[in-house]
Structure 1
Amino acid sequence: VRRGESWYLSAAAPEDKDLLCQEVTLLAGKPVEEVIEAYGTLFASDNPVHLRRSFRQACNVADIYEYLGLVEAGKPLTVTLKGGKALSLAPVGMEEMNKLEIVRISDKIKGQPETAAADAYYFAKPLTEDAYYIQYNTCREAEDLPMEDFAALVAKDLKAGDYSRVLLDLRNNGGGSDGVIWPLFEVLRESMDGGAKLVGLIGEATFSSALINAVEIQEMGGVLAGEPAGGSVCHFGAVQTFSLPNSKVRGQLSSKYLDLNTLLDAAAGRGVVALEPDVLVYQTLEDTLKGKDTLADWCLAAPDQKLVPAVHDNAPLTRGRFIGQLYEAAGSPDVEIGEELPFKDSFGIEWYLPAMAWAKEQGIAKGGAEGTFSASRPLTWKEAAVFLGRTAEALDLKPDPAAKRMGPVPAALGGSQDAVTRAWDLGLLPADADFTRGLTRSQGENLAEALKALTA
């Protein structure tokens, strides 16, 4: 069993019960991570977390060690514990193994936490007066409780209480259909707009559609806490089943590549890599034995300044994020978001949704001919200049004649458009930038800060 960055002995013969929970350092004389890497020649995985999970599920199969050349056929596997003690485990058949008397870590666990995995698609309950908990275990709709009805129950609870935090637990969710959760997201968006902080809990088993939902939590402005997910940010999905015509062997096929990098601002710049939480919190072995949930307890106790999104300064700057940065620089003025979303391709849950509504209202972001905005698309310097110039006009900012920038607008910024010229004359654009490249999030912050300085 793995806890944190270490592996521990999870089963033993009764006479060796005192060895349970001791750290394993070597398998067949090699570091555990090196053995896991060898497993990668047999187990398909697109990130190290997924491979690690596959190893854990098959680490007791003697044939694999023999096939990989880690152990000679029929010879025992040496398991070395921290401190140097070595165990010699002889291979046995399945029938014989089922007859063995074994003691396990699970025998030492005292009770279960309130947040233990339930035999339900989803459920919700208050954990404290301040924290409300939702467990979402599969991206499917329960026959006896449709998601619309479940979301309505959650909305009723949230309105009746005064919760400052909502924990949405995806740690046991291996996927299904990512759209099932949307009625709940709409309820949570309303709760966030009322001041509640949304924290998504993820772990090694968070996969496929559940992983998409986790990134959508970040798109909402929520925070992900827990351990790296077994699924990758960009991944293959839409699994279909098939049967070979002659052997009738059944298999599965991923029929679609889901490039979240191009679909969500929160995923910009990420690829086929494990989804990392904003706040890393490992389940500890000590808490496991006490029947405690390390992550849930941490989320309940952590101050607000600990529950913040991770900073990815070098990630590509998207159009939607830059509008959000400009909105904050302008003082986050009040804006009404009606029943109709600002643009046809708005999701309705984005953290920068008020910013887009404000930008459209002020003529800063006009969108395309079909009423779309492409918020997740990387921003160009020309677009940044246009948005800056239009924002300056909306805020009635005028250049100081004594401080007006001399020289023509660089050709890479698109020539003499009024908005671009205004941004250039106001000194909102750096003179030494490479305007042929894309922008990073930190560059967007710098541009927004320059605008904010002029409004002071």
Structure 2
Amino acid sequence: MRRKFLFFIVLLIISLTVAGNVNLRDLTANEWREDIAFLERTLVKQHPDAFNKVSQEEFTRAFQKLQTDIENLQWYEIYTSLTALVAMIGDGHTVIYPYTVLRGFPVYPYSFKDGIYIIATDENNRELLNTRLVGVNGLDMKELLDVLRPVVSHDNEWGFISALPNYFTRVEIMKALNLTGEGDGLKLKLDKDGEIFERIVLPAEGDFQWVQERAQKTYIGQTNDNYWYELYPDSKLLHFHYDSCKSQEGKPFIFFICEMFSYMRRQDAERLLLDLRYNGGGNSLILEFFILRMMLDCKYNREGRLFVAIGRETFSSAILNAISMKKRTRAIFLGEPTGGSPRHYGAPRSFTLPNSGITVHCSTTFWRTTSDTSEAMMPDILIERSFEDYYYMRDPVVEYIESLPIPE
């Protein structure tokens, strides 16, 4: 049975203000300097090891340069420089998120194994839907990614690719990086069925609705639930979607798991897939009851019956859960490398810059839950998603499992 492969896009909120209704345009050079100094002091004080991936000399030099250049920079260049300074630490949890501060471009790129495609636009740019992105403002895609990488906080390359759309769609960040042209337009070079053409996308005026186009009507599923399941009767596969490491109000996790296993017995399910691909973290202890239950399950805790799906959006506590499943069960891991590292900084606390009101998230702990020092947790079987998987709403991980014989 072919399953529908889903992508969910959060509507970007367009605003030029931050905490306390501060307009970044109105800040003086001295107010920015105070914020820069505060940022440097607080990062060094709060982070467990701010100089793990960057030397103290290089870090200090970058802050000093911004202080010196401040008079010659526009507010959006200062803002983008701040995101780059935080990203120097090399930790996906230590970040300035660009979600609610800047204007947006109404084009949403997503990276597949066969290229980066525009998978959502507003109504005015519908003709760009499902085109492959070839270049931006005269740069090819490799050059574009090299320009964006320094401003994106990430643990590894998969984490960078996961976070990329949130920065690409922000007008002032792209403008600060010299990736826009007249009228702040974004000049895109695109490929539609082998035909190369160029279009200029202008910033959205106010809020807008994303538009997508697929081979069939988009299946919404239970996107508001932290966890849910579905059974594929033909292959007797139970697909357990665990999208957030948080207990859900009105749906206690322990009761949910008991009900799920009862359902599996009634329906004679033969295989179980724990899906962590869209789980960005929370409390790693929530899943512990399920993991303990699996350790004692002689039917499902066997090779070929238990699977875990991971991917670029598997991050933070979800990685800790994946590590625990790896250590304590016989699960086979499928999908992409995780967007976070197995040993990583986390448990972030936020602080606010005093004048601009910009919120900064900073790690406070280093998780040493495994001896694996690689940049990403790798699947046993690499299954990358293609644009056709997206367009025809197929889930290649599920299809791979369904193609396997059920163990005796």
Does the alignment reach a TM-score above 0.5?
yes
In the alignment, what sits opposite 2:312? 204
Does structure 1 residue 37 correspond to structure 2 residue 146? yes
Match of 2:152, SS?
coil
SS in 1 for 2:134: strand
Contact 1:111 / 1:290 at 8 angstroms: preserved in 2? no
Q: CA deviation at 1:136?
A: 0.9
1:172 aligns with 2:278: yes
1:221 and 2:330 are equivalent in the alignment: yes
Whole-angstrom distance in 2 between the partners of 1:160 and 1:90: 53
Q: Distance in 2 between matches of 1:236 and 1:279?
A: 26
Q: Please give the secondary structure, in 2, of the residue aligned with 1:204.
A: coil
Q: Which of 138, 151, 168 pairs up with 2:257?
A: 151
Q: Relative to 1, partners in 2 of residues 1:216 and 1:233: Cα closer, same or farther, differing over 3 Å?
A: same
Aligned to 2:231: 126
Report the Cα offset of residue 12 of structure 1.
Answer: 6.3
Q: Kindly report which structure 2 residues correspond to 1:15-414, keeping only aligned pairs within 5 A, or say none.
A: 20-71=129-180, 74=183, 76-82=185-191, 83=194, 85-89=196-200, 91-92=202-203, 94-95=205-206, 98=208, 104=211, 106-112=212-218, 116=221, 118-128=223-233, 130-192=236-298, 196=302, 197-219=305-327, 220-243=329-352, 250-262=359-371, 268=372, 270-271=373-374, 273-303=375-405
When structure 1 is superposed on structure 2, of 201-210 and 63-72 the one drifting more is 63-72
Compare CA radii of gyration and give the structure with the larger one: 1
> How big is the shift at 1:182?
0.9
The count of aligned residue pairs is 292
Higher RCO (Cα < 8 Å, 6 or more apart): 2
Q: Cα 1:141–1:45, aligned 2, differ >3 Å: closer, same or farther?
A: same
When structure 1 is superposed on structure 2, of 166-175 and 196-205 the one drifting more is 196-205
Instruction: Indicate the SS of the match to 2:363.
Output: strand
Contact 2:231 2:238 in 1 (8 A): yes
Deviations 1:126-174 (A, max 9, x none): 2226211211111111232222212222332344444332011112211
**Contact 2:349–2:361 (8 Å) recurs in 1:** yes
2-side partners of 1:252 and 1:208: how far apart?
Answer: 14
Identity across matched positions, percent: 22
* Coordinate RMSD, CA, aligned: 3.1
Residues 36 and 206 from structure 1, CA distance in 2 versus in 1: closer, same or farther, beyond 3 angstroms?
same
Change (3 A) 1:191 1:118: farther
One-letter code aligned to 1:94: E
User: What TM-score comes out, normalization by structure 2 length?
Assistant: 0.63
